[in-house]
Chains A and B, each alone.
Chain A
Amino acid sequence: MRAAPTPDPSIDVAGLVIDEPHRFRVDGRVHTDAHLFSLEMQRIWERSWLYVGHESEIRQPGDYRTTVLGRQPIILSRGEDGSIRAMFNRCMHRGAVVCRAERGHANHFRCPYHNWVYRNDGTLVGMAQKSGYGDSFDTSEMNLVAVPRLEVYRGLIFACLDPEVIPLRDRLGPTAWYIDQWADRSPVGRIAVTEGVHRYQYPGNWKFQLENGVDGYHGNYVHESFVKILNRSGDRKQQEVVRTRNRVGSNNCAKGLPHGDGLLEREDGMLGTFDYASLDDYRQALVETHGQDRLADILTQRNILIFPNVYLFESHIRVMRPISPTSTLVDTIPTWIEGIDDALNTRRLREHERFFGPSSFGATDDIEIFVLNQTGVQAEAARWLDFSRGLARERVGKHGERIGHSTDETPQRAMYREWQRRMLVGEEMAS
């Protein structure tokens, strides 16, 4: 067991989340304080399973892409043996990155500084003017350092800096079932991602994006503009959207899962302007592979938060990268459902651009709200953020998950309970 990082004695971490029977509050400094941010990086980001990429991005042996694990540069690569590896993008000699291109295909990575050459599995295979090192210099210790843990679930590649972390499947727990429904929207059970990424950077804290993606309370207000667009285009009537969002029903709920994961589930999605359930060929293909009894579960619209860095949406995978307490990079990576008509995927892409793109009519308004949040929480004297909505009516499901109405702040509470636990303890807990 490693030593826990030393907390700043001036901040009482235990007092930042106040979880009472009828009231749930979070201290606004969680979005502004630089010390809390570095504690988050150490205790949450450096010890959590983090989403780092998708199998379809490195389909062929030799394919690679660079990314970050928390804030540390890594290379994801598929070796000649077909297996996926993750290694730090850092020459073992003097520390330069050995791979400059974000994506590509290579058998070797060559450090431009002194021409050290590594195979795409990280093995050092060449050094310039090697004789200068003498016979006793052990090159077998100079391979690129492997990321301590890497596991894949349904095409989603997760990695972790903590070698002692619990297995990914244990970490996912009941969330895995929801990932299965998401992936099985493909009749062949495979979702791919596009190479292009819609990338945002906003001047606000990363947790505003986490809070928002499972927030079913804001839609009628933040997205009034989009609802009017749907109404104008005839895609959906405004009254119908408002009524559906407010309806109380078993498939219209927000859930808080273990490990800070969360869900927003709706029987009738507002984002898509086409209803998958009405596409007969698509329904039939799903029934043939997955069975009639799974159809309703698969077609339920869900936003799935896997704490702390990834969301699965119907149209895309969304990855959060904290840059500083007040700056966040968000990648929204459109998905491609394998086993269906290309034309339907292209329509999905156009609708994705309509609501989620950087010039869209939806997500851009959410980001404006994060910026209002970031400005507002500078009023530290006002201190508390309130997440009490639905405390009095949520219930506990069979996996210990809490289930509220879709407009309740049930998932945000689960997220902040886990946030606080991790900030105090550090470790992922076993299921």
Chain B
Amino acid sequence: MTAGAAASGPLSREQAEALLFEEAARLDDRDLHGWLELFTDDAIYWLPMGIEDPDREPSLILDDRSRMEERVFRLLDTAAHAQTPPSRTQHDITNVRVVNVELDRAQVTCHLVVHEVRIGDPSQVGMAQARSLPGRCEYELRRGGDGRWRIARKVVRLLTRELPQYNLTFIV
């Protein structure tokens, strides 16, 4: 099944998986404009820390659609030193569950492990060190007028969300 393909009826787990796997593939292929296309125009991409009161407490990331577009612009069109060279990533998705489903809306949860490495001279500090970032995700999906399911909200609770971070400049 094509990800987000128009289909009638409530969202099945197979459809949810197809969409999440497609998102992972676009991120890992660095097709970041394609990644944005999977989201609604009012989408939120949120990595909370320990206290989930984003109006009063800091988040690791709290992107609305326009900041998501800034993030993609920064990664693809600017000389961002923290991504020079860029991260090579692999997003592994498991434990997919459709937890709440209406005709045109669904909540989906899954587990995520992002494996990340920057390829370069291993004698240089910070290079050629593979890392793995585990987390749990909550997705809110919406079906648009064209029949396609899109991501309206992506929340990633990293296992290490309150811990010191180092170069979290790729998209998880």
Contact = CB atoms under 8 A, between A and B. Distances in A.
Contacts of B73: 228-229, 232
B53 to A, nearest CB: 9
Nearest to A328: B164
Interface string A206-232: 000000000000000010111011001
Interface string A339-352: 00010011001101
Interface range on chain B (Cβ under 8 Å from partner)? 35 or more
A367 B84 CA distance: 13
Interface in A345-375: 345-346, 349-350, 352-354, 357-359, 361, 364-365, 367-369, 371, 374-375
B57 A196 contact: yes
B59 to A, nearest CB: 6
Interface residues of A, number: 43
A334 B70 CA distance: 22
B124 A361 contact: no
A194 B56 contact: yes
A329 B67 CA distance: 27
A197 B51 CA distance: 10
A200 B56 contact: no
Main secondary structure of the interface of B (DSSP, over half): loop
Contact of B59 (A224, A336, A353, A367): A353
Contact of B165 (A203, A350, A358): A358
B166 A200 contact: yes
A53 interface: no
A228 B166 contact: no
Contacts, number: 114
Nearest to B171: A359
Nearest to B167: A364
A138 interface: no
B60 interface: yes
A365 B75 CA distance: 12
Residue among A196, A197, A371 with most chain B CB within 10 A: A196
Contact of A359 (B50, B57, B60, B84): B60
Given A224-B78, A358-B168, A203 B58 contact: no
Given A195-B51, A198-B58, A225 B78 contact: yes
Given A225-B80, A345-B56, A374-B125, 12 more contacts: A194-B56, A199-B164, A199-B165, A202-B166, A228-B73, A229-B73, A232-B73, A334-B58, A361-B74, A367-B166, A367-B167, A368-B126
Interface of B: 47, 49-51, 55-62, 66-67, 70-71, 73-74, 77-82, 84, 123-126, 162-169
